[in-house]
Amino acid sequence: MGDSNPTPRISVHQALVADVLLWRKWCGGVVMLASATTFWYLFERAGYNFLSFVANVLLLLVVILFFWAKSASLLNRPLPPLPNLEISEKTVGKVADELQVWINFVLSIVHDIAVGRNLKLFLKVAVCLWLVSFIGSLFNFLTLVYIGVILSLSVPVAYDKYQHHIDEKLSVTHRIIQTHYRKIDETVLRKFPLPSNKEKKMQ
């Protein structure tokens, strides 16, 4: 008999991303790190304006393509090898489906907090938003993106190499957090009245 739980299929794009993040394709990792460092230095340290940079790059690209096409017609050379510059309906549908999932997820959280009066969920969201606000006050958005790139190129490699030790530490940390959460839940959260199922149905 075949396996009742077949392994999930991994797409080519997912495998490529995994190879880059785990430095199996070191060229991709080096290019990603060098590009992120260059952009961060240009906009954060050198003070280059992002809008001006994008406009200048697009201007240079348009000029190159224009003169390439003109010279190709005069010298009987091939035109620039540009792909079909349009977005397919399939791509738009995939993006719309992903946005719908995330928007519905956020709206369900808002509904549970506002209508369901879910105190635990409210506290979790409040703490997460406070952490985001606190971290945002320490770094600007570009620096946060750069730190995210650095972490994405270092954390997966470290986890892949020391997975057993990291899992043990995370398990211990999770048990400690769960213990403290139960104490807070028993001493504080359960003292607040929660809406009954009958009240929820009436709403």
7 falls within a domain = no
Hey, which of 27-36, 101-110, 150-159 has the most confident mean pLDDT? 101-110
Per-residue pLDDT reduced to its tens digit, 122-175? 888 888 889 988 888 887 888 888 888 888 888 888 888 888 888 888 888 888
Q: What is the pTM of this model?
A: 0.58
* pLDDT higher than threshold 80 for residue 190: no
Say if 44 falls within a structural domain: no
The mean pLDDT of 65-86, rounded to a whole number, is 75
> How many domains would you assign to the chain?
2
- Look at residues 78, 96, 75, 79 and name the one whose alpha carbon lies nearest to residue 87: 96
pLDDT > 50? residue 2: no
In a domain, 6, yes or no: no
Structural domain that includes position 124? 116-159
Instruction: Kindly state whether residue 151 falls inside one of the protein's structural domains.
Output: yes
Coil vs helix vs strand at 1? coil
Residues 152 and 165 in one domain: no
**What does the pLDDT read at residue 191?**
61
Instruction: Tell me what the mean pLDDT of segment 166-193 comes to.
Output: 77
Q: Cβ contacts of residue 71 below 8 Å, gap of 6+?
A: 77
Q: Tell me, what amino acid is at 83?
A: P
Asked whether residue 170 falls in the same domain as residue 155, the answer is no
The larger pLDDT score, comparing residue 161 to residue 203, is at: 161
Provide the token pair at 27: 């060229």
100 domain-assigned: no
Stronger pLDDT, 199 or 180, i.e. the higher one: 180
Residue 120 lies in a domain: yes
Maximum average pLDDT range among 97-106, 156-165, 183-192, 193-202: 97-106
Cα 120 from Cα 194, distance rounded (Å): 10
Do residues 155 and 121 share a domain? yes
- pLDDT category at 99 given cuts 50, 70, 90 is very high
Q: What is the residue-averaged pLDDT of the chain? A: 79
Give residues with Cβ within 8 angstroms of 199, minimum separation 6. none
* 136, 127 contact by CB (below 8 A): no
> For residues 201 and 192, which has the higher predicted lDDT (pLDDT)?
192
Asked if residue 155 and residue 125 are part of one domain, the reply reads yes
Within-domain flag for 59 = no
Stronger pLDDT, 50 or 33, i.e. the higher one: 33
Model confidence at 13, pLDDT cuts 50, 70, 90, reads low
* 183 assigned to some structural domain: yes
Are 130 and 10 within 8 A, CB to CB?
A: no
Statement to judge: residues 152 and 173 lie in one domain: no
| Mean pLDDT for the stretch of residues 50-79 | 83
